[in-house]
Amino acid sequence: MKRVRLFGFAKITRQYVPAAGLAFLLSFAARAEILAASASPSMGKAKQQAEANGFIFETSHDEIVAKARQEGKLRALIGWDPPNHPHLIAAFKKKYPFIDVHLEEISGSEAGQRFFLELKAGRVRNWDVLHINTDHYGDFPPYLKKFDIRGMADHGVLAIPDGMIDPKARNAVALGNIVDVVGYNRHMISGEKVPNALEDFLKPEFKGRKFFTDIRPLAYAALVPELGVAGLVDYAKKLAAQEPVWVRGFTRAYTAIMAGEHALHSFGNYNAIIRVARKDPRGSLAFKVVEPVPVRIHEPQGVYRLAEHPYAALLWLEFQAGPEGQKIIDQYEPLKSSIYAPGSELEKLIRGRRISVKGWDNWQAYTQWVGLLTEAFGFPKAQVK
């Protein structure tokens, strides 16, 4: 649903996630059954069109499973934290016991940069699934196998929600999201006094080292699709004039808030709050969802074009996108599931709320937005590291 109203900065479009709808009510299996029963003629047309564009389009999930059985192995380079790996492997092998799984983590900008350079130089071998470094997202599609994942999902061959799949490249899948919320220490500031809107942080009572703000405006850049560049640049300047305590890193910031060093964070990762809160015996940490909710696509993966086990890789992507994989990601990552996965914790968190998404269509622009907002902040240095 789209509505237009005034919101301080300018005239904007309101975006809502529906509280219910066919996509949320149908199970993956039921959706696949319905599509398979009703779309057989269009399936053939979709396959023909995909192959004309150089894509591989399988028309049967059973055939994908049969080919994966012949392959028998899977090697995946992923961004999920290592403590998550044993749980993902165990659940995947319970579903596909004939596939031997090896996972390795790649994390951080430096590691991602090195890997991409090796990829360009043709030195990457022995991987079936690649974690796609977001700094180079636009350059990755040529290195991915041209499976028409989007087409196969649309026709029920693969049970992957549409929102997870790049509609343009068609062969990249983002298995999670980062959602940003306002975090605070409930023993230092009451929930009623915590800002309910972005503009509340600009009130006089929040001036002068009253809250944390991260020097990297990742959450604020994700608000540009809803509020516009000019509005956010103006807001960033006004927020900087409030003289916040500049910080780098959400885990460090929320640990300090939990310890009572500061009361409030203007915007931070929801999953970081929960991760720190799980170690908090006093239950100090709390959060408030402020709209529009900043949402960022997270953990994009694809099948490597030189994969030795490409069909096992397809099943791996599908598994992570499905209810079992998303539940594990919620529990052990934690809470980096996808807002597009029905029933995931993040889908429930933002359900019915107005959101602003760093999505498939603005990867390159997002990097520019971060730079503009950092400049509007005045290129601050972290006072808490």
Q: What are phi and psi of 58, to 5 degrees?
A: -90, 140
The 3 state secondary structure assigned to the chain is CEEEEECCCCEEEEEECCCCCHHHHCCHHHHHHHHHHHCHHHHHHHHHHHHHCCCECCCCHHHHHHHHHHHCEEEEEECCCHHHHHHHHHHHHHHCCCCEEEEEECCCHHHHHHHHHHHHCCCCCCCCEEECCHHHHHHCHHHECCECHHHHHHCCCCCCCHHHECCCCCCEEEEEEEEEEEEEECCCCCHHHCCCCHHHHHCHHHCCCCCEEECCCHHHHCCHHHHCHHHHHHHHHHHHHCCCEEECCHHHHHHHHHCCCCCEEEEEEHHHHHHHHCCCCCCCEEEECCCCEEEEEEEEEEEECCCCCHHHHHHHHHHHHCHHHHHHHHHHCCCCCCCCCCCCHHHHHHCCCEEEEECCCCHHHHHHHHHHHHHHHCCCCCCEC
Question: In degrees to the nearest 10, what's the CA dihedral of 140, 146, 149, 155?
Answer: 150
Residues of the chain with pLDDT > 90, as a percent, come to: 80
pLDDT of residue 332: 94
Does 200 score more than 60 pLDDT? yes
pTM of the model: 0.88
Angle subtended at Cα 213 by Cα 260 and Cα 300, rounded to the nearest 5 degrees: 110
Question: In degrees to the nearest 10, what's the CA dihedral of 276, 280, 283, 285?
Answer: -30
Angle subtended at Cα 358 by Cα 2 and Cα 136, rounded to the nearest 5 degrees: 150
Compute the average pLDDT of residues 120-137. Answer: 90
Q: What is the C-alpha separation between 265 and 182, in angstroms, rounded?
A: 6
Confidence of residue 223 (pLDDT cuts 50, 70, 90): very high
Q: What is the C-alpha separation between 2 and 15, in angstroms, rounded?
A: 6
Confidence of residue 110 (pLDDT cuts 50, 70, 90): confident
pLDDT of residue 113: 86
CATH code of the region 19-176+297-343: 3.40.190.10
C-alpha 369 chain-centroid distance:
18
Q: Which residues contact 276 (CB under 8 A, 6 or more apart)?
A: 251, 254, 255, 258, 285
Compute the average pLDDT of residues 287-311. Answer: 97
pLDDT of residue 41: 76
Question: In CATH terms, are 19-176+297-343 and 178-295+363-377 the same topology?
Answer: yes
Compute the average pLDDT of residues 229-242. Answer: 98
Q: Which residues contact 191 (CB under 8 A, 6 or more apart)?
A: 184, 286, 288
| Cβ atoms of 355 and 293 closer than 8 Å | yes
pLDDT of residue 16: 45
Does 278 score more than 80 pLDDT? yes
Maximum pairwise Cα distance, the chain? 66
Joined together, the tokens standing for residue 79 give: 């961004």
Does 13 score more than 60 pLDDT? no
Does 338 score more than 50 pLDDT? yes
pLDDT of residue 8: 32
Does 17 score more than 60 pLDDT? no
Confidence of residue 5 (pLDDT cuts 50, 70, 90): very low
Compute the average pLDDT of residues 331-337. Answer: 95
Does 245 score more than 70 pLDDT? yes
pLDDT of residue 9: 33
Compute the average pLDDT of residues 272-300. Answer: 95
Residues of the chain with pLDDT > 70, as a percent, come to: 89
Give the architecture (CATH level 2) of 178-295+363-377: 3-Layer(aba) Sandwich (3.40)
Joined together, the tokens standing for residue 61 give: 């999930």
pLDDT of residue 217: 97
Mean pLDDT rounded to a whole number for the chain: 89
Joined together, the tokens standing for residue 356 give: 């602003």
Q: pLDDT: is 112 or 50 the higher one?
A: 50
| Cβ atoms of 255 and 285 closer than 8 Å | no
Confidence of residue 186 (pLDDT cuts 50, 70, 90): very high
Confidence of residue 127 (pLDDT cuts 50, 70, 90): very high
Compute the average pLDDT of residues 9-15. Answer: 36
Q: What is the amino acid identity at position 309?
A: H
Side-chain half-sphere exposure of 312, counting CA atoms within 13 A: 25
Compute the average pLDDT of residues 109-115. Answer: 86
pLDDT of residue 138: 84
Q: pLDDT: is 130 or 111 the higher one?
A: 130
Does 137 score more than 60 pLDDT? yes
| Cβ atoms of 102 and 315 closer than 8 Å | no
Domain boundaries, the chain: 19-176+297-343, 178-295+363-377
Cβ atoms within 10 Å, residue 128: 24
Does 1 score more than 60 pLDDT? no
Confidence of residue 33 (pLDDT cuts 50, 70, 90): low
Does 76 score more than 90 pLDDT? yes
